[in-house]
Structure 1
């Protein structure tokens, strides 16, 4: 499945490969017992979870709850297995988008490593925090970058919550 998704970045895969991918997705989807909307929604979320955790690079956003609910109703109305599969494939092809990094995350990710190195060099000369010399650059720079990225994500979420409420 990873091979097929890597082809998406270099152009559209062949119809045969796309058919194989969608069949595999649908098989994973139908292996779970689906009787209620919550079970249907959990099965969709499980697909995206395994997809995004297994594939490096491009990730996919989960469709909104309203979209999933709409397709669940369509899926419930169908009695034929092929028509149910068609409804599922329609959901996957029309409502799934690739997730995009926002500009602030990209800028922080690019600027933090050189800034962390500069801060470490300056910190090594300050007598009160000479302990920073004991921390290797290989640990300090990625840790600082990770902390900066987490703080950007948290601050974005907090600002979004303020705008919503």
Structure 2
């Protein structure tokens, strides 16, 4: 079986694949009307939003507004369409970075399900919280886990920025 697969060739080289992807991204980018920085900013964020919604698994961090503003200035100064495309491709290859999970989020995601189950079991014995018995574990545990992760991310962002 391996011998028959050899006839298919090696496929696209990574640089060829990158050129194809960037070319299609630039085509999608230029289909929008760009008259100002706000239009440029929205078009760039739309591309990153499409990345994150279309690709399962890893998501990508958005570039900062300052990085987008710097790219817009270089893009505006470009003389012809080919130079604009080069500026755009350089910006995208530099700016597309996979988002990273921090240790706090990972630990919160691991610790919160058992803690939620223990809290539910303990709360069922308190007379004022008898209603916890009515909530199924299948709904309670994921809800508490998601709330814990969201609150950990929000508190981390608030304290770091």
TM-score above 0.5: yes
Question: For structure 1, which runs of at least 5 residues remain unmatched after alignment?
Answer: 1-12
Q: Report the Cα offset of residue 85 of structure 1.
A: 0.8
Q: Give the TM-score taking structure 2 as reference length.
A: 0.84
> What corresponds to 2:148 in structure 1?
148
Q: Counterpart of 2:108 in 1: which secondary structure?
A: helix
> What corresponds to 1:67 in structure 2?
67
Q: Counterpart of 2:150 in 1: which secondary structure?
A: helix
Q: Report the Cα offset of residue 80 of structure 1.
A: 1.9
Q: Report the Cα offset of residue 67 of structure 1.
A: 1.8
Residue 122 (str. 1) matches residue 122 (str. 2): yes
Note the 1:24-43 alignment, pairs <5 A.
Answer: 24-43=24-43
> What corresponds to 1:90 in structure 2?
90
Q: Report the Cα offset of residue 68 of structure 1.
A: 1.6
Q: Counterpart of 2:56 in 1: which secondary structure?
A: coil
Q: Give the TM-score taking structure 1 as reference length.
A: 0.82
User: Which range moved further: 125-134 or 136-145?
Assistant: 125-134
Q: Counterpart of 1:58 in 2: which secondary structure?
A: coil
Provide the C-alpha distance between the structure 2 equivalents of 1:105 and 1:75, rounded to a whole number of angstroms. 37
Q: Report the Cα offset of residue 151 of structure 1.
A: 1.3
Q: Counterpart of 1:17 in 2: which secondary structure?
A: helix
Structure of larger gyration radius = 2
Query: Structure 1: which 4+ aligned runs deviate by more than 4 Å?
Result: none
Q: Report the Cα offset of residue 29 of structure 1.
A: 0.8
Q: Counterpart of 1:149 in 2: which secondary structure?
A: helix
